[in-house]
Amino acid sequence: MPGHGRRTIAEVGEQWLVERIQRAVRHSATGDVAVIGDDAAILPALRGARHPMVVSTDVLVEGTHWRGGHLTPAQLGRRALVANLSDLAAMAATPRWFMLGLAMPPSQPVAWFQGFLRGLMRAADEFDCPLIGGDLVRAPVVSISITICGQCHTARPARRDAAHPGDTVCLTGDIGRARLALDVLDDRSRPQRGGARIIAKHRHPVPRLSEASALARGGAVRAMIDISDGLISDIGWICRLSGVGAEIDLAALPVAPVVRRCLADRGEDCMTWAASSGEEFELLLTTRRRPEDLRALLRDEGIRTPITPIGRITSGRRVRWTRAGHPVAPPRNGLFRHFSQG
């Protein structure tokens, strides 16, 4: 492989980039102000504060994260904030405020901006997360950057590096609809059974803030991440940072019934499909508790979101995939990689 000077970002990949950023921070003369590498950076607790704060930044770029016709401006505004709120959920934190950086072409219609702002602020009100400032700039395409701050529910924030062998791996909600929604929206000429229900989660996502709060306060969370790049990638992050392996049962994945039906019509395997579905905004967590105990914690808070055990954390460093107890090849179909595809 050529030296670093000749390699491209696509060749080295996101994991390499993150590792180099972490190394640069450790060697910086400014020192480590915060812990990085999770869904949000953990800040030192302020004087008198019982629990630490966390801060996260997310960037959405037109043509990479959404395409024209998939979302109304108001739906895009909501989705932009939810992507950041989901990062706070993965840290078991409550939103406190956010800042907006918005880049647009000079030709962007004012009506688009007004719709985007309306959806953004409705979401801000819904989740009690005020906008406190930001920046506007011209650019060739629309880009949305949101920085969000949250307060942890416990003295120990939920992190990606806290999984231990013997933990049970669980998922909230269901997966598969987010990826299938893009197919439905891209190919309107091919009717899909339940198409409206498929795209509903894509157009009106809900961050699992209440679920994360209930589980963390109940002491049920060891490691946690939200499903943004797909289960395949995100279980990999937990394992790498925790120095462990995992065994995941494809047959146990909570795939939405409407996804099962649609993919059966197309002759595709819904389990491998769901394993690579990103932007689900569900929580992937490891726990020492029994699944029924986790469900009881949610019920006590009036939360009816399903939570499903899908595997276990193991010693070693590999993620092994099974189907009802039988080893299978790692699913790769549709796996998203930053910088390697558009």
On whether both 184 and 243 belong to a single domain, the answer is yes
Coil, helix or strand at residue 316: coil
Q: What is the mean pLDDT of residues 118-124?
A: 95
Residues in the chain: 342
On whether both 173 and 144 belong to a single domain, the answer is no
The pLDDT tens digits of the residues spanning 139-159 come to 999 999 999 999 998 888 899
What pLDDT band is residue 340 in, cutting at 50, 70 and 90? very low
Q: What is the CATH number of the domain that holds 95?
A: 3.30.1330.10
On whether both 288 and 197 belong to a single domain, the answer is yes
Establish if 20 belongs to a structural domain. Answer: no
What pLDDT band is residue 13 in, cutting at 50, 70 and 90? confident
Establish if 335 belongs to a structural domain. Answer: no
Residue 282 has pLDDT above 90, yes or no: yes
Establish if 286 belongs to a structural domain. Answer: yes
Establish if 6 belongs to a structural domain. Answer: no
On whether both 216 and 303 belong to a single domain, the answer is yes
pLDDT of residue 68: 77
CA-wise closest residue to 97 among 136, 151, 35:
151
CA-wise closest residue to 328 among 221, 252, 242:
252
CA-wise closest residue to 300 among 204, 220, 224:
220
Residue 342 has pLDDT above 60, yes or no: no
Residue 38 has pLDDT above 80, yes or no: no
Q: Are residues 311 and 169 in contact, defined by beta-carbon separation less than 8 angstroms?
A: yes
- The single residue listed with the structure tokens 């108001």 is 74
Residue 168 in tokens: 């049970």
Q: What is the mean pLDDT of residues 230-255?
A: 95
pLDDT of residue 1: 44
Residue 341 has pLDDT above 50, yes or no: no
What pLDDT band is residue 179 in, cutting at 50, 70 and 90? confident
pLDDT of residue 70: 87
pLDDT of residue 189: 41
Establish if 140 belongs to a structural domain. Answer: yes
Least confident residue range of 1-15, 86-100, 130-144, 297-311 = 1-15
On whether both 142 and 247 belong to a single domain, the answer is no
On whether both 235 and 126 belong to a single domain, the answer is no
In sequence order, the β-bridge partners of residue 170 are 285, 309
On whether both 318 and 193 belong to a single domain, the answer is yes
Query: What's the rounded Cα separation, in Å, for the pair 313 and 321?
Result: 12
On whether both 88 and 200 belong to a single domain, the answer is no
On whether both 281 and 206 belong to a single domain, the answer is yes
Q: What is the mean pLDDT of residues 63-75?
A: 87
In sequence order, the β-bridge partners of residue 284 are 171, 225
Last residue of a domain, one of 152, 186, 204: 152
Query: What's the rounded Cα separation, in Å, for the pair 323 and 325?
Result: 5
In sequence order, the β-bridge partners of residue 311 are 169, 248
Establish if 250 belongs to a structural domain. Answer: yes
The tally of domains found in the chain comes to 2
Instruction: Please state, for a pLDDT cut of 70, what percent of the chain lies above it.
Output: 87
Last residue of a domain, one of 97, 123, 152: 152
Residue 332 has pLDDT above 90, yes or no: no
In single-letter form, the type of residue at position 177 comes to R
On whether both 178 and 313 belong to a single domain, the answer is yes
- Report helix, strand and coil shares of the chain as percent, to nearest 5: 35, 25, 40
DSSP string, 7-56: --HHHHHHHHHHHHHHHHHHH-TT---SB-SSSSEEPPPPTT-SS-EEEE
Establish if 125 belongs to a structural domain. Answer: yes
Residue 80 lies in domain: 33-152
Secondary structure element (H or E) that encloses residue 203, with its range: helix 195-203
pLDDT of residue 339: 41
Does residue 27 or residue 134 have the better pLDDT? 134
Residue 240 has pLDDT above 60, yes or no: yes
On whether both 187 and 113 belong to a single domain, the answer is no
Q: What is the CATH number of the domain that holds 233?
A: 3.90.650.10
Last residue of a domain, one of 125, 152, 179: 152
On whether both 233 and 290 belong to a single domain, the answer is yes
What DSSP state is assigned to residue 252?
G
Instruction: Please state, for a pLDDT cut of 90, what percent of the chain lies above it.
Output: 60
What pLDDT band is residue 330 in, cutting at 50, 70 and 90? confident
Least confident residue range of 33-37, 104-108, 192-196 = 33-37
Query: What's the rounded Cα separation, in Å, for the pair 80 and 252?
Result: 30
Does residue 49 or residue 259 have the better pLDDT? 259
Does residue 261 or residue 335 have the better pLDDT? 261
Query: What's the rounded Cα separation, in Å, for the pair 318 and 246?
Result: 7
Instruction: Give the side-chain half-sphere CA count within 13 A for 149.
Output: 13
pLDDT of residue 208: 98
Considering 37-41, 131-135, 194-198, the range whose residues carry the highest mean pLDDT is 131-135
